[in-house]
Amino acid sequence: MKIFTAGVLTETNTFSPIPTGLGAYEGEYLMRGDVNPDDRHGYEVPVNVWKRMAAERGWTLVQGLHAASQPSAATVRRVWESFRDEILDGLARAMPVDMVLLRLHGAMVADGYDDCEGDLLERARALVGPDVPIGAELDPHGHLTARMVENATALVIYKEYPHTDFAERARELFDIIADTALGKVRPHMAVHDCRMIEMFFTTLEPMRGFVARMKSLEGHDRVLSISANHGFPWADVPELGTKMLVVTDDAPEVGAELAARLGRELVAMRGKTRVAALPIEEALAAAAAAPPGPVVLADVADNAGGGAPSDSTSVLRALVERGVRDATIGMIWDPGAVALAHEAGVGARLRMRIGGKVDPLGPGPIDLDVEVTGLARDQRVAYAGVRIGVGDMAALECDGIAIVLNSRRTQTRSLDCFTAVGIDPRARRLVVVKSFNHFRAAFDPIAAATLYVAAPGTLDPDFTRIPYRRIPRPIWPLDPDPWS
Ligand SMILES: [Zn+2]
């Protein structure tokens, strides 16, 4: 058996002010040939799972291009076309192959392409023909387009948000595609469109129970795999929305019925599957009234993990103006300020202009008298068993507020984002993180309370305020009842 694998992974926020060119991939992850066997980058985990599973069976695995960038605006057209064509050339050279395994996101947009994953899958299908199984592992924050479903044999989406199960899902996909290649199963995909825009936090009820229910229904009644495509709200694309996907062993009616039933369950849970984000004033008041211990405050609208600059100063400015002390905030993306702090050195006191260089929606930069208290070069932070590069870092102290800056735009999802520069979030009353939900895996264990703040930003948590023009209508919550 011969397997071809490749992947391009990015989550496109079509409202982001940050362009995605070749440098965005070169700076994040671009691998030709053998991926690193030690899972140093999170991006390598599924491919290494497939490599091990192939080796155990004595099968050959050929690796094409693997590329990933931090979420940002649409990928530059020639970059997408060159990546796509390089993957297809690699596949053509590897043929004949028995199966194709792709690592994709599901919400990738390029200039001129609303659906990069569908574009790649369609061309791959044309190349290998109807009989070679093609599988892709996807992020739940995608669009799950008709073109993707038509051209793939099976799609498997992470079940967890925070995404902690990409290795498990990679094994699941390998098994389905391998069983297809061996003639043991004939996958059929059924999709139910929930006609809604929502975020689903799977560490909290009711989603915890929903994930458990999806898992309990797999492996019986010809159901091979069940996925919830949460959808990605910050994209102005024609197939946006929450969808349920059921892969059966050639049982279309079973799949359609189950996808519709689970889809109706998701619709019934709308409005209850995430924590409401409060305006800054209310959030700070709620933080002050919280029980003793660290209060974690998520600045969700400025989450780099969804395409935001992570340099908005809205919350920092509010802390300074209110004289809040015993607080820390991170990570603010500001390579220039990080370089100045490194130049000045630990112990230096200086006036610095912080943040607000790229974020178009907040109050701009803030000028503060600070002391440099910690510096670190080329840091990697732990997340879900892998190490994620955050670049150079600096910690600045300003009247009881420890400000953590970094040079490589990445969301704040582990305690190392503070401890790497000597700030202990466990010892601070208020810990502000720039993240939508991924921070919870690491911060919940230390938090006396967790709050979400809706400051102005690129990831507005109120979907009714997003200036959509091309999404399908009717759709909840823009339309109150799109189901009747
Ligand atoms: Zn995601």
Per-block mean pLDDT, blocks of 10 residues, the chain (484 long): 97 96 93 72 86 97 95 97 98 98 98 98 98 98 98 98 93 98 98 98 96 98 98 98 98 98 98 94 96 97 94 97 97 98 98 96 95 97 83 98 97 96 98 94 95 93 95 97 94
Nearest to 364 by CA among 328, 308, 311: 311
Within a domain: 471: no
Is residue 173 in a domain?
Answer: yes
- The answer to whether the CB of 169 falls within 8 A of the CB of 222 is no
Instruction: Compute the distance from residue 94 Cα to the ligand 1 centre, in Å.
Output: 31
Span from the CA of 163 to the centroid of ligand 1 (angstroms): 7
Same domain for 261 and 313, yes or no, is no
Residue 91 CA to ligand 1 centre (angstroms): 27
**Domain assignment of residue 337, yes or no:** yes
How many angstroms is it from 343 CA to the middle of ligand 1? 36
Q: What is the CA(308)–ligand 1 centre distance, in A?
A: 14
C-alpha of residue 307 to centroid of ligand 1, in Å: 11
Helix (H, G, I), strand (E, B) or coil at 201: coil
Query: Are 244 and 319 members of one domain?
Result: no
Cα-based angle 139, 12, 279 (whole degrees, multiple of 5): 90
SS (H, E, C) 3-50: EEEEEEECCECCCCCCCECHHHHHHHEEECCCCCCCCCCHHHHHHHHH
C-alpha of residue 21 to centroid of ligand 1, in Å: 21
Q: How far is the CA of 7 from the centre of ligand 1 (A)?
A: 16
Q: What is the pLDDT of residue 33?
A: 78
Same-domain check for residues 264 and 285:
no
What is the predicted pLDDT for the residue at 38? 64
Pairing verdict, β 187-193 and 29-31: unpaired
| pLDDT for the residue numbered 387 | 82
Tokens representing 415 are: 């305690």
> What's the 71 CA to ligand 1 centre distance in angstroms?
10
Residue 122 DSSP label: H
The number of folded domains in the chain is 2
Question: What digits encode the pLDDT tens for the residues 268-317?
Answer: 999 999 989 999 999 999 999 999 999 999 999 999 999 999 999 999 99
Tell me: do 287 and 205 sit in the same domain.
Answer: no
For residue 11, the CA-to-ligand 1 centroid distance in Å is: 8
Cα 10 to ligand 1 centre (Å): 10
For residue 39, what pLDDT is reported? 61
Cα of 118 from ligand 1 centre, angstroms: 18
- Compute the distance from residue 478 Cα to the ligand 1 centre, in Å: 22
R_g over Cα of the chain: 22
Judgement on whether residues 229 and 99 belong to the same structural domain of the protein: yes
Cβ-count burial of 13 within 10 angstroms (0-12 exposed, 13-18 middle, 19+ buried)? buried
**137: CA distance to ligand 1 center in Å?**
12
Specify the amino acid at residue 462: D
* This prediction's pTM: 0.92
Interval between CA 158 and ligand 1 midpoint (Å):
8
Determine the structural domain holding residue 380 and report its residue range.
277-453
CA of 231 to the centre of ligand 1 (A): 9
448 by DSSP, 3-state: which?
coil
Q: Which of 185, 182, 35 is CA-nearest to residue 99?
A: 182
Task: Tell me how many helices (H) and strands (E) the chain has.
Answer: 13, 18
* Boundary of a domain, candidates 268, 300, 331: 268
**Do residues 315 and 299 lie in contact, with contact meaning Cβ atoms separated by under 8 Å?**
yes
CA of 305 to the centre of ligand 1 (A): 8
Ligand 1 center–CA 216 separation, angstroms: 23
Q: Are 273 and 418 in contact (CB under 8 A)?
A: no
**Which residue, among 104, 121, 144, has the nearest Cα to 238 in the 3D structure?**
144
User: How many angstroms separate the alpha carbon of residue 408 from the centre of ligand 1?
Assistant: 19
Distance 417 CA to ligand 1 centre (A): 20
Whether residue 325 is contained in a domain is answered as yes
Residues 207, 86: contact at Cβ < 8 Å?
A: no
Which of 136, 107, 446, 474 has its CA nearest to residue 307? 107
202 and 108 fall within a common domain: yes
Classify strands 295-299 and 430-433 as parallel, antiparallel or unpaired: parallel
Contact 333, 470 (CB under 8 A): no
> Both 252 and 296 in a single domain?
no
Cα(285) to ligand 1 centroid in Å equals 30
Q: Which two tokens stand for residue 218?
A: 């797999």
Measured CA to CA, the distance from residue 426 to residue 414 in angstroms comes to 12
Q: According to the model, what pLDDT value does residue 193 have?
A: 98
Token readout for 358 is: 């790229």
Q: How far is the CA of 342 from the centre of ligand 1 (A)?
A: 33
The partner residues of 354 in beta bridges, in order of sequence, read 366
Same domain as 287, residue 264: no
Question: Pick from 246, 268, 290: which residue ends a domain?
Answer: 268
Q: How far apart are CA 69 and CA 23, in angstroms?
A: 9
Question: Does residue 482 belong to any structural domain of this protein?
Answer: no
User: Is residue 78 located within the same domain as residue 39?
Assistant: yes
The reply to whether 206 falls in a domain is yes
Q: What Å distances lie between residue 475 and 197, 233, 363, 421, CA to CA?
A: 7, 12, 32, 45
* Structural domain includes residue 92: yes
pLDDT digits (tens, 9 = 90+) for 171-215: 999 999 999 999 999 999 999 999 999 999 999 999 999 999 999
> For tokens 């930003």, what's the residue?
457
Extract the tokens encoding 313: 């100063």
3-state secondary structure (DSSP) of residue 418: helix
How many angstroms separate the alpha carbon of residue 161 from the centre of ligand 1? 7
**Distance of alpha carbon 74 from alpha carbon 64, whole angstroms:** 23
141 alpha carbon – ligand 1 mean position (Å): 5
The residue out of 217, 245, 268 marking a domain boundary is: 268
323 and 305 housed in the same domain? yes
- SS3 for 132? coil
Residues 314, 264 share a domain: no
Distance 367 CA to ligand 1 centre (A): 34
Determine the Cα–Cα distance for residues 315 and 394; give it in Å rounded to an integer: 19
CA–CA separation, 452 and 461 (whole Å): 10
- Give me the CATH number covering residue 182: 3.40.50.2300
73 and 108 Cβ atoms separated by less than 8 Å: no
244 domain residue, yes or no: yes
Percent of residues in the chain assigned helix, strand, coil, to nearest 5:
30, 25, 40
How far is the centre of ligand 1, averaged over its atoms, from the C-alpha of 128 (Å)?
29
Same domain, 254 and 362: no
